């Protein structure tokens, strides 16, 4: 597969090549299936690590907590696939409301476009479940096995009671988190309180078992074992977001101009006198990297933008009493042209960002308006297919329809059905008012009829008519509302 080298960057030093003697053209046979090299990411703390942990807490409190909220005597958020009703706080959505999910996905997509154009892989580095769960799983790993060096020692050590205890404990904790995540996930689709009761006796249904285990296994496998492999080889977003990058996009960069030539030196040594840049070549930026790259080689597709290297390098710069920001968020243009902060900010408001932002605002506004103006019930009119029309008493002509009335409120509702479009049209169905239970749909056969004179005046063929369904105001919570649905009335030959 033809591919370019990791994103060309004028400031990057070239990767250390496996140089043959004298750089001659020598062929070698290599194995094409790369063995997995385990990455021992070192713990990191700092401003950006704080942000990431903040987002871990925020997203996970939301994810684990939401299903436990109650609302209107039911679960606040419940996607009841069996009954095909989707409850989100006050909203009761039907499959017909699929457009809102589409809207939500468009909002999510444009948010990603916008954030990515402005500041690169923000999603990947801070909020993506893969990052968030990896962060949690790595915390467990650190707590039980120690930091980078300790973990490497432990892996190299022969199996013994201590190693068994630490590794076993880690696996147990991972599996528990995975299963809890699976249970929570299923809790969005079956009431989680019942699920928790069932968990005490392991009395899940077959599909609940499957999804709890499947989602639990996916969490455990991806966050415990696969980690950066998911981002590097499996994630499509990681690959197509380069389309949203340009030279004014904030990326995590190493200031080669300031850092090179790198080299070790004493804390008191004057770098200028030693003809050295600010990079002390401590390799900490490599040790903390969750994808195992060296950011000093420039922008690489493996970089998920987590800023761990910024945090750790700033710590080193502090200790060396050099200014911070040898590795920092900056743009390619900013690096090349030495732009200051306000110039960078001005460039952030470039046309592509403005277009993404305005489309996003527009769709959010449209979605919000559409939800606010949502009808408290829906109506579908389906003509009977068997017979188009029939003659009844006194030569009246009758057409039969089925009206599906869908109550999207959580109260019992009553509706009156009327029909119009031809002079003196009448409806005929069981009773004059339809009662529909909360969040239920009901089919109502309705016959519409016209007098022979009207039919003769209208002529043979099909004529447009309207069904008007009107909600009756039974409680103060119900405001008057009516829905008009079009159909046709057939006068036979």
The per-residue b/e assignment along 354-373, b for 16 or more CB within 10 angstroms, e otherwise, is: eebbebbeebeeebeeeeee
Residue 197: how many CB atoms within 10 A of its CB? Answer: 11
Could you say whether residue 5 binds other proteins (CB under 8 A)? yes
Check binding of 493 to other proteins (CB under 8 A): no
Neighbour-count burial for 387-397, b at 16+ CB within 10 Å, e otherwise: eebeeeeeebb
Q: Does 33 bind other proteins (CB under 8 A)?
A: yes
**Residue 438 interacts with other proteins (CB under 8 A): yes or no:** no
Q: Which of 16, 242, 340, 437 binds other proteins (CB under 8 A)?
A: 437
Compare residues 59 and 229 and give the one whose CB is closer to other proteins: 229
Among 59, 242, 435, 482, binds other proteins (CB under 8 A): 435
Which of 60/409 has CB closer to other proteins?
409
Q: Which is nearer to other proteins, 33 or 159 (CB)?
A: 33
Cα gap 247→255, rounded to integer Å: 15
Is the Cβ–Cβ distance between 198 and 208 less than 8 Å? yes
- Tallying the residues shown for the chain, one arrives at 493
Q: Does 83 bind other proteins (CB under 8 A)?
A: no
For 36, phi and psi rounded to 5 degrees? -75, 125
Closest-CA residue to 491 (of 419, 404, 390, 349)? 390
| Site membership for other proteins, residue 474 (CB under 8 A) | no
Q: Which of 18, 83, 156, 273 binds other proteins (CB under 8 A)?
A: 18
19 touches other proteins by CB under 8 A: yes
Give Dmax (Cα) for the chain. 113
> Which phi and psi angles does 328 have, rounded to 5°?
-155, 170
Packing angle of the helix pair 161-186, 148-156 (nearest 10 deg):
120
Instruction: Kindly state whether residue 164 participates in binding other proteins, applying the rule CB under 8 A.
Output: no
Q: Is the CB of 15 or the CB of 464 nearer to other proteins?
A: 15
How far is Cα 214 from Cα 179, in angstroms, rounded to an integer? 9
**Binding-site size, other proteins (CB under 8 A):** 49
Of the pair 177, 446, the CB lying nearest other proteins is at: 446
Please identify which residue in 16, 30, 156, 373 interacts with other proteins, judged by CB under 8 A.
30
CB of 102 to other proteins, least distance (A): 31
CA distance 353 to 118: 7
Q: For residues 350 and 414, which CB has a smaller minimum distance to other proteins in the complex?
A: 414
In the set 29, 340, 342, 479, which binds other proteins (CB under 8 A)? 29
1 contacts other proteins (rule: CB under 8 A): yes
User: What distance in Å separates the CA atoms of residue 466 and residue 92, rounded to the nearest whole number?
Assistant: 26
DSSP states of 426-450 as a string? Answer: EEE-SSSEEEE-TT-EEEEEEEEEE
| CA gap 408, 169 in Å, rounded | 49
Among 32, 62, 202, 373, which residue interacts with other proteins (rule: CB under 8 A)?
32
Q: Look at residue 146 and give its three-state secondary structure.
A: coil
Q: Which is nearer to other proteins, 27 or 73 (CB)?
A: 27
Omega before 261 within 30 of 0, i.e. cis: yes
Position 16 contacts other proteins (CB under 8 A): no
Q: Per-residue contact track with other proteins, 373 to 402, x per CB under 8 A?
A: -----------xxxx--xxxx----x-xxx
Least Å distance, CB 442 to other proteins, is 7
Query: What sign has the CA pseudo-torsion 80, 83, 85, 90?
Result: negative
Interaction of residue 443 with other proteins, rule CB under 8 A:
yes
Task: Determine which residue in the list 139, 442, 462, 485 makes contact with other proteins, applying CB under 8 A.
Answer: 442
Task: Report whether 350 contacts 248 (CB < 8 A).
Answer: yes
**Which x/- pattern, by CB under 8 A, does the window 212-231 give for other proteins?**
-----------------x--
Give the nearest distance from C-beta 426 to other proteins in angstroms. Answer: 14
Write out the residues near other proteins by the rule CB under 8 A.
Answer: 1-5, 17-20, 23-36, 229, 232-233, 384-387, 390-393, 398, 400-402, 428-431, 435, 437, 442-443, 445-447
């Amino acid at each position: 597969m033809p591919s370019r080298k990791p994103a060309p960057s004028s400031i990057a030093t070239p990767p250390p090549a496996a140089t043959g003697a004298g750089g001659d053209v020598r062929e070698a046979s290599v194995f094409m299936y790369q063995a997995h090299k385990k990455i021992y990411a070192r713990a990191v703390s700092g401003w950006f690590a704080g942000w990431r942990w903040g987002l871990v807490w925020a997203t996970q409190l939301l994810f684990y907590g939401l299903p436990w909220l109650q609302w209107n005597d039911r679960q606040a958020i419940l996607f009841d696939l069996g009954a095909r009703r989707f409850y989100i706080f006050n909203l009761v959505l039907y499959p017909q409301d699929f457009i809102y999910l589409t809207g939500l996905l468009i909002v999510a997509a444009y948010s990603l476009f916008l954030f990515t154009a402005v500041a690169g892989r923000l999603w990947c580095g801070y909020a993506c479940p893969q990052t968030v769960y990896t962060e949690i799983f790595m915390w467990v790993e650190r707590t039980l096995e120690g930091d980078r060096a300790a973990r490497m020692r432990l892996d190299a050590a022969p199996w013994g009671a201590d190693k068994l205890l630490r590794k076993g404990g880690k696996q147990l904790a991972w599996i528990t988190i995975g299963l809890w995540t699976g249970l929570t996930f299923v809790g969005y689709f079956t009431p989680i309180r019942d699920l928790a009761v069932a968990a005490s006796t392991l009395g899940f249904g077959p599909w609940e078992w499957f999804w709890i285990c499947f989602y639990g296994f996916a969490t455990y496998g991806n966050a415990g074992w696969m980690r950066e492999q998911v981002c590097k080889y499996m994630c499509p977003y990681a690959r197509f977001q380069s389309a949203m990058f340009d030279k004014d996009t904030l990326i995590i960069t190493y200031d080669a101009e300031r850092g090179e030539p790198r080299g070790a030196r004493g804390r008191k040594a004057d770098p200028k006198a030693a003809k050295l840049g600010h990079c002390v070549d401590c390799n900490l930026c490599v040790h903390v990297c969750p994808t195992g790259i060296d950011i000093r080689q420039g922008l690489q597709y493996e970089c998920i933008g987590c800023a761990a290297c910024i945090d750790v390098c700033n710590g080193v710069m502090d200790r060396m009493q050099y200014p911070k920001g040898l590795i920092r968020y900056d743009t390619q243009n900013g690096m090349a042209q030495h732009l200051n902060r306000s110039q960078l900010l001005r460039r952030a408001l470039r046309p592509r960002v403005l277009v993404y932002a305005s489309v996003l605002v527009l769709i959010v506004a449209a979605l919000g308006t559409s939800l606010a103006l949502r009808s408290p019930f829906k109506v579908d009119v389906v003509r009977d297919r068997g017979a188009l029309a029939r003659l009844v008493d006194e030569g009246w002509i009758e057409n039969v329809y089925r009206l599906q009335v869908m109550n999207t409120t959580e109260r019992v509702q009553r509706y009156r059905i009327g029909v119009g479009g031809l002079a003196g049209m009448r409806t005929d169905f069981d009773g004059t008012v339809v009662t529909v239970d909360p969040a239920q749909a009901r089919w109502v056969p309705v016959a519409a009829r016209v007098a022979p004179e009207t039919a003769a005046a209208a002529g043979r063929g099909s004529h447009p008519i309207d069904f008007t369904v009107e909600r009756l105001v039974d409680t103060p919570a119900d405001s008057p509302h009516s829905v008009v649905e079009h159909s046709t009335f057939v006068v036979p030959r």
